[in-house]
Amino acid sequence: MPYVIIDTSSILFGFKYRKDVFDIARYKLTGSKLMISRGVLRELNRLSQNKGKKGATARAALLTIKYKKIEIDNNNAVVDKWILSVARKLAGPVVITNDTELSMRLKALDVKCLKLTRDGLLK
């Protein structure tokens, strides 16, 4: 079962445009196992302290992760470093990120990267 690693940028982008990256990934990448790291939770927790839309978005994302029982890797490293490390170790992973720099680094390692669009597509 291939892993789909989801970055904080795609989670927040999806919630901003009312798209659930977790449901989209499960539908488009049937049979895959979705995974985030403790670092993603740390980033979302930090952002959830903000007032306004960004804080509300982060709080909604945290509730969704808990409700949907997304697999959480216990590694608490910086998220980009964790993604790069895990993507090298796993066989055929897919990374969903809206971070252009991270995407370029992963593609240089021949890791499949997808980006969530405003329309809720993975490209």
Tell me, what CATH number does 89's domain have? 3.40.50.1010
Question: Which neighbouring-strand residues pair with 71?
Answer: 35
Q: Which domain holds residue 52?
A: 3-114
What pLDDT does residue 9 have? 97
Angstrom CA distances, 19 to 66, 87, 106, 107, 122, stand at 17, 24, 24, 25, 11
Least confident of 7-11, 74-78, 104-108, 116-120: 74-78
What is the number of alpha carbons within 13 Å of residue 5 lying toward its C-beta?
A: 30
Sole residue written with tokens 């993604």: 83
pLDDT at residue number 76:
86
Residue 20 has pLDDT above 80, yes or no: yes
Half-sphere exposure of 116 (CA within 13 A, CB side): 28
Tell me the per-residue pLDDT of 50-79, one tens digit each, with 9 for 90 and over: 999 999 999 999 999 999 989 999 998 999
Domain membership of residue 121 (yes or no) is no
Within a domain: 43: yes
For 75-101, what is each residue's pLDDT tens digit? 989 999 999 999 999 999 999 999 999
